[in-house]
Chains A and B, each alone.
Chain A
Amino acid sequence: MTNYISTKLRTFLGEPMGEKCVAFVDGVDKDLAIRLMSFGFDKAYVLLGQYLLMHKKEDDFQMWLMLRCGATQQEAQKISICLREWCSTFI
């Protein structure tokens, strides 16, 4: 993980995710959020559920994000890191 932490990432990692929209996950921009919502991943916790179901395997999760949801590699990596770090604090 780089030394730079975006404001979006810092904000997301600073508290439980509760009912936050999936758009709050670092790496999820507006277009990706719309696609994720169309697939049923409207809340951040639903995307977290997918990550946990994939046994927190980041490579597999990133591949799923790219192939299934049309995320770019950069987006997939940011999302994966975001959820990994959130889990390390709250799960």
Chain B
Amino acid sequence: MTTYQKHCDFVTEPMGEKPVGCLAGIGDVLSKKLEDMGFHKAYMVLGQFLVMKKDECLFREWLQDTCGANARQSQDCFDCLREWCDTFL
């Protein structure tokens, strides 16, 4: 599945109990690292995004520090959550 498809799939419906790996930018490796840190569900990463007041720099830096996401991955994840919030929050 492409990142674009993953993004579209995520932002077009409520996230419910989707696993963290459903987020655009979060593949198998990052997913495992996030789960090891306690972030099993996409809504938990959303929680982090929200307490950081949806700040792009803060969130992307957190993602990079927490699970080693690169610039592309953190951008994809940020864009995914931002668009989801624009629609559902």
Contact = CB atoms under 8 A, between A and B. Distances in A.
Contacts of A45: 50, 85, 89
B1 interface: no
Given A45-B89, A90-B89, A53 B48 contact: yes
Contacts, number: 46
B89 A52 contact: no
A43 B53 contact: yes
Interface in A43-59: 43, 45-46, 48-56
21 contacts: A16-B89, A17-B89, A43-B53, A45-B85, A45-B89, A46-B51, A49-B46, A49-B49, A50-B47, A51-B47, A52-B43, A52-B47, A53-B44, A53-B51, A55-B41, A56-B43, A90-B14, A90-B88, A91-B15, A91-B46, A91-B88
